[in-house]
Chain A
Amino acid sequence: MKKTIASIAVGVVAAVAATGAYAQGQSTLATVKARGQLACGANTGLAGFGVPDAQGTWTGLDVEACRAIAAAIFDDPNKVRFVPLSAKDRFTALQSGEADVLIRNTTWTMSRDTSLGLNFVGVNYYDGQGFMVRKKLGVSSALELNGASVCTQQGTTTELNLADFFRANKLKYEVVAFASADETVKAYDAGRCDAFTTDASGLYAERLKLANPDEHIVLPEIISKEPLGASVRHGDDQWFDIVKWTHFAMLNAEELGVTKANVNDMLKSENPEIKRLLGVEGNFGESIGLTKDWVVRIVKHVGNYGESFERNVGEGSRLKIKRGQNALWSKGGLQYAPPIR
């Protein structure tokens, strides 16, 4: 009995010590540098956003955002360890320090930003929730889904929006919630549900996994705002700045026409904005604990936001998603970065 109590106590102490470790330790940047690697919370597998290929190399829009941070810190986009996380486990992993940053198609909401002990840094993909159904059901609008069974992933904003949508439109439905995206898609494919719902980008990505992708259509309704972005833990402002400005740097690079191919030529540019961006003038990188040439590193290894978008989810990919809301503000989209000056 005594032994039992003692071991319980040891267990509790160990657990709590683990929870507390990050809160007192050194800055996240110092931890990452000491480790020689960035730990990045990633999706377990979502085509176009975060998925390991046959060789085990991670690719995707979210994955490249991680690589950009690693490039800025280490001048090496491969110094990242990807921590595959399900929707349900992702916040706990970030809170407990298992990941330094969470870039895993995660919707920025007020409750997540305020009560989970984390901060969202920005929006790297403007998304919205949609539905996919079998063509043979003859459904052309989500409003016709009265009485349908809907498969979704648990612990997501999707689950909540789904409830709101059906309630607001006075429709009945049956929700079948699964822990992982894979199980959800499999159950939908097996006929357990009439409809599958997730972010529209996810619908296009998951449709590729179905037995006969052509037998399914995505309904036109977008029922929610899903700003997807990176998040970091509360309490380390320097780290918050690094992740935030890495994202803005990629947007600014696109806006100023700095690409992977021309970044070295651009160093000679006379444009003062480009000079500041690439560290030729001013000392912006060092003000957030990085080097002067931080943006050069990012663009050299990863490219600007537009390049990353096209390669992973845009016309250059299997998903063929249009830029739409994710175009730069100057081209009618919502992507807008504050200036570097």
Chain B
Amino acid sequence: MNIVESTRLAIESIWANRLRSFLTLLGVIIGIASIISTAAVINGLNHYVSEKLSNLGQGVFVVKRIGIITNRQDFLDAIRKNRRLTTADGKALVERCPSAAAVAWQAAVTRDVVREGLEIRDTSISGVTPAVLQIEPFDVDAGRVISQLEEDRAAPVAFVGADVVEQLFPNSDPIGKRIRVSGQPLEVIGVAAKKGSFLGFSQDNFVKIPYSLHRKMFGSWPSVDLSVQAADPARMQDTMDEVRAVLRARHHLRPAQPDDFSMVTAEGINDLWRSMTQTIFSIALFVVGISLVVGGIVIMNIMLVSVVERTREIGVRKAVGARQKDIVQQFLIEAVLLSCLGGLIGVLLALGAAELLGAYTPLPARFPPWAPPTAFVICTAIGVFFGISPAKKAASLDPIEALRAE
């Protein structure tokens, strides 16, 4: 008997027991749907992070007082030991790191921004040197970015995010208008393109002003972040070594002491991020793996029931010339088809879940294109693995006994 006939029989049999088939498949459906939904969320996050990091540009790294902290002890040590980074550190890098094409620094505080009775709260107010806007380019929606001249003169100008415009300039063009931060009037010279929110946090609630002005307004206390662009992106590591040597000398660290600052690269963030999501995914895979095994066992169970119910049919088939391998094929295809049907429903559910998550939650879900073929392979494997024993049981029935069955 050929595959087409077996498939047709399997479809007839699954359809004849619609409700039972569906209930049988719940385990597989839920398993496949949850694993793909998890994958969609992680895929969305990865994509987002990669996109974000690619903004940083080639050969760029950032020196921070406190870098990416993965445990509490490191955090406490960093708070206690690490010195604040200052503009003097930045200037030293400009002078003493020949392999750095550009060095910029920025510092940030959080304040409310007001304009004529309108207000936006908890805005990030960062003082930036103009080079920052080259090293980490912004898409400019209107106006322009801060110039060197404005930095030199500590001019009261502001480059603002889309949220600031939405809140303070609901119906008017913000360019050339005034806003106030901590009593200081600022002229809006440019608006950044909207970036949207990530994990529920808006990324458009910011005001960037010249670093010199920031220092006047908020003092030199906040530690600065130093952004460094290597002249040759291929040799970024050399530039990082130079920067490390300069900063260690300035901080009077002995050779045995660890760095009291950290250097963050796009690759470093990306690697860390991926290893985190990889861990989350592995755990999810394990948990869902259990549900798939349970789903497979349920399929095996229902196939065994089906073999018993259809003992007589098997007897008839054998009497009219079905070989053992025809019977094995028929039941195996039925198990595989059942399992793959569960997978298909699971994939469709996950597709819907990814859409809903993307639309109604802050999670940036992104349906992974490899999911349907992978689900197909996994479900086929489940069908074969858990279907082979019932199929063999059916095939090995004695035709005489089978024909006598009630």
Co-assembled chains A and B: no
Residues of A within 8 A of B (CB): none
Residues of B within 8 A of A (CB): none
